[in-house]
Amino acid sequence: MSQTKSNEITIRVAALEDAEAVKTLSDQLGYSVPHSDIYQRLAIIEKDKNTDILLATIDSGMVIGFIQVYAVNLLAEGSRAEIATLVIDESFRNRGLGKLLVRKAEEWGAKRGLTYVVVRSKIDRERAHKFYKADGYSDFKTQHVFSKELII
């Protein structure tokens, strides 16, 4: 994806050198992940054609938000884009940046022929729920999510 500008905001794909900025924003969202893990995950994501992390930056180059979007292909539900993470720096919230990043994620999916977008949001993130509903997303499923660590 090429860089696009909107009112002095640049949207671009994350690179390895963005690991510290991504970590800082992840911390604000409540996910404290070590820098080395973020760096390793960015290296994997850079090679994956089915996922991207799109960054919002200002003229100084400071990263002020990001969204992770990826393609999901399911037998029962078809192909879709899914937003995994959206975070805007605390000092830049309520300025339309979240909506801008969501639009870019939707464009990302549409360019890949995906017909809809899904967002999963923790039950206690009421502010995020209001944001997505105001943007035309509907609450269509409630479910439990299970995980199990694999022993390698």
Looking at residue 65, its pLDDT comes to 97
Token duo for residue 96: 């339309």
Looking at residue 143, its pLDDT comes to 86
One digit per residue, the tens of pLDDT, for the chain of length 152 reads: 555 555 589 999 999 999 999 999 999 988 888 999 999 999 999 999 999 999 999 988 999 999 999 999 999 989 999 999 999 999 999 999 999 999 999 999 999 999 999 999 888 999 999 999 999 999 988 888 899 999 99
Domains of the chain: 4-134 (3.40.630.30)
User: What is the DSSP secondary-structure string of 7-69?
Assistant: TTEEEEE--GGGHHHHHHHHHHHT----HHHHHHHHHHHHH-TTEEEEEEE-TT--EEEEEEE
pTM of the predicted model as reported, rounded to 2 decimal places: 0.90
CB neighbours of residue 16 within 10 Å: 12
Looking at residue 6, its pLDDT comes to 52
Looking at residue 7, its pLDDT comes to 52
Rounded distance between C-alpha atoms, residue 119 and residue 85, angstroms: 9
